[in-house]
A and B are shown apart, each in its own frame.
Chain A
Amino acid sequence: MSNRTLACSVLLALALVPLGAQPVPDKEELKLKLPKPMFIGTPTNLKSANLEKVTGKPRGPFYVPKGTVLLSLKKKVTSSDSQPVIGELDMITDGEKGGGDGYFVELGPTSQWVQIDLGAPHALYAILMWHYHSQARVYRDVVVQVSDDAAFKSGVTTIFNNDHDNSSKFGLGSDKEYVEVAEGRLIDPKGVTGRYVRLYSNGNTTNDLNHYVEVEVYGSPK
């Protein structure tokens, strides 16, 4: 392979990386129902190299294969903290995304995970999560994994990791940290297949606790 061919291949591959953000013929825009913002204004003073730039603008459209559906609604949720301080684990998949009191579950300090059982393996095309959007804060060491093994001991694919200093010991994460906002954080699983989705976090910039308002997992219905 010539150097020119190699360079063209690399450029093509790079261009296709953010595929979910591109309109293509066999795809459709993922329609999301977002909650109302809980705080006014944009925390534009929050700037750092490993923090996603806060634009204050809505996220652009996200494209997924036609026929993609919400898989996680009302699905069973388990956690490393089986007795949450506030709320119940089933709040994470109950479809309620309002950030106010009574709509979130609060897990204990240090690294904690929640796990959604989709019931069967599915090809996944989008994961949307809200930790806590009543206040501008950043959750630490957010790691999202997919597996067919409920114990996550084999066949684990990490689809998001922003643990920039490897403090949670999953290896260095290359994704950036982000400020929690009402539109949630959208992750592109790029079609990875799995039955279980596990999400880790390790406290936040306001306190040591871990929170979830809602997690939505979208994918192929089969």
Chain B
Amino acid sequence: MTRGRAGAIVAVALAAGLALRLVRLDARPMHHDEANQALKFGALLERGEYAYDAHDHHGPTLYYVTLPFAWLRGQATLASLDERTLRAVPAAFGAATVLLLPLLAPGIGRTAVAAATLLMATSPAMVFYSRMYIQESMFACFTLTFAIAIGRAATEQGWQWPVLAGIAAGLAAATKETAVIVVPASLTACALAWWSLGSRRSSFALTNAGSAAMVSLAIGAGIAALFYSSFLVHPGGVLEPVRAAATYFQRGIDPENHVQPWHYYVRLLAWSSSGGLVWTEALVLILATVGAATAWTALDASRPDRVFWHRYLTANAAIALAVFSTIPYKTPWNLLPFYTVTIVSAGIGISALARATGSRAAHVLLVGAVAIASAHLSWQAWRASVVYASDPRNPYVYAQTVPDAVRMAARIRDLAALHRERERMPVTVIAPAGEQWPLPWYLRTMTHVGYWTDASDAPDLTAPVIVSSAGHTDLLDATLGDRYVSEFFGLRPEVLLSVYVERSLWDRFLSRAGPGERGRGD
């Protein structure tokens, strides 16, 4: 494939990828994890406060990188933030991940890069999690950068690649604790591919491997230390990831929840059918298998570097998938770091098919098939990210807040607008911690909202609006009696919250709503 054609395909893929990642970023209600991250970022934005939490929330990069996005939109407080600002961060890194692929052209060829770019830009999994304010999109970008950089360092002279590898490893480590899986998986795959070349590996550029490794390590450690110490504000934070290791190791091998079978990730990507909706990225998995099979069975003696790259990247995908599949703790977004290299492997598979088909007609058919596959992936990505963004039938959705919860928050704000204290109207929330989120995000403009996990801990039950989980409704019904009216809203599928409203406030709300005024025949 010519440089011009490959460039044009990358440009088209990037445009499609950006559109899918940026349009209607507020379509999906905030997931409780997103809301949690948003509140943590709000503290950094408003007060410059950040300290790494060894038990939760992952690394600091997400929060620091979000700062310029908020500044660009002129948002200086938590209350002024919105979903578009926050989700633009993972969307930007999702697009950047697509743009990394041309760096692989010297190694895997332009055909593989062009095909992989199309698949990466339109993959529903990649798009969906690039629109979610969690660490995964950034993490996948940093880990793929690391994988590319060490491959280039292994095959080319110069210090730029070891330096880039160090930067990427440092940022990955400062983003998510699972860097201890993904980075070694890439190093192992690189070593395995290099070893598999036998006598042909002597043509490689590993002349200063020891020095290069030391440089990468020093840079990576320095960058990670800067972030974990909150840019030297909390020097002790440098040691916190060590403390976190035990927490995350225990959570990974003996989780209290999020336990899934070993085939969870493959099954999720391969096929999902629920409630009349079908989703599949099986073609990517099949093409990646083709890429791996050809990489490890054919040996082109004239291009040992290409053989190395093909074997390295396909092995990287397989090793990372195997490790993540072995760990009992699984959440769907954890697939991103190994799925990026799986998609590259699919590009290698398409390139192998192109080489195997000699006739022009077969090439045209292959190009048509890739175009149709990309269009199908794009359609699924749109459906997953916008039309069914919070629907439990969507396989990428996980413990997702339902739209009813947004209506609940809107109801509380509407009631506050009718209360004499407006946004200072007291609101009491009594629910287990897992059933409080994402309310703090949606009620972020209200200044007097109190959260308790048990009714007995709440100071009193006199707030004009009281939100309760199902477990506390008997007590609240008995305590509040006729002074309050109650209604209920969904929080997540099959999780409801009750909202108790002081009767006089409710009457004002209803009188404002007016009598039935809908035109007949509407």
The answer to the question of B392 belonging to the interface, with a C-beta cut-off of 8 Å to chain A, is yes
The main secondary structure of chain B at its interface with chain A is mixed
Q: Are B496 and A48 in contact (CB under 8 A)?
A: yes
B403 lies within 8 A of chain A by Cβ: yes
Residue numbers in A under 8 Å from B509 (CB-CB): 165
Q: Do residues A101 and B510 form an inter-chain contact, with CB atoms below 8 A?
A: no
Q: Which of A10-18, A69-77, A169-177 binds B?
A: A169-177
Q: State which of A46, A171, A177, A209 has its C-beta within 8 Å of the C-beta of B516.
A: A171
A140→B490 CA distance, assembly (Å): 11
Do the beta carbons of B477 and A166 come within 8 Å of each other?
A: no
Task: Enumerate chain B residues within 8 angstroms of A154, measured Cβ to Cβ.
Answer: 520
Within 8 A of B (CB), among A96-148: 101-102, 104, 106, 134-138, 140
Q: Is the CB of B510 within 8 A of A172?
A: yes
Q: Given known contacts A51-B488, A101-B275, A172-B510, is B520 in contact with A152 (CB within 8 Å)?
A: yes
A101-B276, A171-B515 as given contacts; A47 in contact with B404, CB under 8 Å = no
Chain B contact-residue range equals: 35 or more
Chain B residues contacting A137 (CB-CB under 8 Å) are: 490, 493-494
Q: Would you call A152 and B402 a contact (CB within 8 A)?
A: no
Q: A87 at interface (Cβ–Cβ under 8 A)?
A: yes
- The majority secondary structure among interface residues of chain A is loop
**How far, in whole Å, are A104 and B276 apart by their CA atoms in the complex?**
9
Q: Determine whether the beta carbon of B403 is less than 8 Å from that of A203.
A: yes
Q: For B274, what are the chain A residues with a Cβ–Cβ distance below 8 Å?
A: 101
Asked if B391 contacts A166 (CB within 8 A), the reply is: no
Q: Is A50 an interface residue, CB under 8 A from the partner?
A: yes
Contacts of A149 on B, CB cut-off 8 Å? Answer: 521
Interchain CB contact under 8 A, A48 and B518: no
Any chain A CB within 8 A of the CB of B277? Answer: yes
Interface string of B386-422 (1 = CB under 8 A from A): 0110111000000000111000000000000000000
Shortest C-beta distance, A18 to chain B (Å), equals 25
Q: Are A102 and B276 in contact (CB under 8 A)?
A: yes
Query: Across chains A and B, which 4 residue pairs bring their CB atoms closest together, nearest first?
Result: A171-B516, A205-B490, A169-B518, A48-B488
Residues of B within 8 A of A (CB): 273-277, 387-388, 390-392, 402-404, 470-471, 473-474, 477, 485-490, 493-494, 496, 498, 509-510, 513-518, 520-521
20 more A-B residue pairs beyond the given contacts A85-B387, A101-B275, A156-B520, with a C-beta to C-beta distance below 8 A: A45-B496, A48-B487, A48-B496, A49-B486, A50-B486, A50-B487, A106-B276, A138-B488, A152-B520, A153-B521, A154-B520, A165-B509, A166-B516, A172-B516, A203-B403, A205-B402, A205-B404, A205-B490, A207-B391, A208-B403
12 contacts between A and B (CB under 8 A): A45-B471, A46-B470, A46-B496, A101-B276, A104-B276, A106-B276, A138-B490, A152-B520, A153-B520, A167-B513, A169-B518, A205-B404
